[in-house]
Amino acid sequence: MAAARVGRNAATVRLVAVGKGFPPADLAWAAAAGAADFGENRVQEALPKMAALPGVHWHLIGQLQRNKARAAAGRFRLIHSMDRLELADSLQRAAEAAGAVQAVLLQVSLTGRPGQGGVSPPLVADLLRRVLRHDLLRPVGLMTIAPAVADPEEARPAFATLRALRDRLQAETGVALPELSMGMSHDFEVAVEEGATLVRVGRAIFGDRLAGHATPPPG
């Protein structure tokens, strides 16, 4: 697979199964098939699924509103969408209330497209330094949503840019940022070739969200 092609150990890439829009029963067969990490866009949708599906790890991959920070802190193994200082302040207070240390990824916008969140590259270093002043937040890497392109190869520059940005941040700050959350159903192989450690895959596992229903895999 993609990792082997570029000399990477496949064990360094974790699959986050994105089950947004699908009921817990659909997630349960993915868990039975070996999925251990699940991603959700919205806190409110994730909470009942957490209750229905214990024993797996949860990732918040969508934008987090400050008023949902309290419900999120301590419940997600990783929040992929830290992208502004006000959110860091809210999440720090929420982590304190939850008695938790919250791992986060800094979400970077490489498309300049509004609406999906993310800090622009020139501002990432400053956000990282400020997040580090919050003792209950633990930044462990970067996340990006690549531009939606027809040919996955066209997403490669974005993935390479995120990795280069991570390398530079690590060198500048001395903070270890091992995680790179990048790649979705149509481009995760390219993302793995460019160093992804977390791929967020929805449709390729659960089917088309518009169709409304996932079909269990044969066997």
Mask for 32-61, x = binds ligand PLP (CB under 6 A): ---------x-------------------x
Q: How far apart are CB 80 and ligand PLP at their closest, in Å? A: 7
Stretch that binds ligand PLP, among 26-34, 154-162, 168-176, 196-204 (CB under 6 A): 196-204
How far apart are the C-alpha atoms of 131 and 133, rounded to whole Å?
A: 5
Identity at 102, one-letter amino acid code: Q
184 binds ligand PLP (CB under 6 A): yes
Interface with ligand PLP (CB under 6 A), residue from 45, 185, 193, 207: 185
Q: Both ends of the chain: CA-CA distance in Å?
A: 22
Whole-number Cα distances in Å, 50 to 47, 67, 128, 140, 175: 5, 20, 29, 23, 31
18 binds ligand PLP (CB under 6 A): yes
C-beta separation of 146 from 158 below 8 A: yes
Q: Which helix (H) or strand (E) holds 157?
A: helix 156-173
Whole-number Cα distances in Å, 3 to 10, 42, 164, 196: 5, 30, 18, 9
Q: Which of residues 138-177 bind ligand PLP (CB under 6 A)?
A: 145
| 152 or 202: CB nearest ligand PLP | 202
The site for ligand PLP, by CB under 6 A, has a size of 13
20 binds ligand PLP (CB under 6 A): yes
Interface residues toward ligand PLP, by CB under 6 A: 18, 20, 41, 61-62, 145, 184-185, 200-204
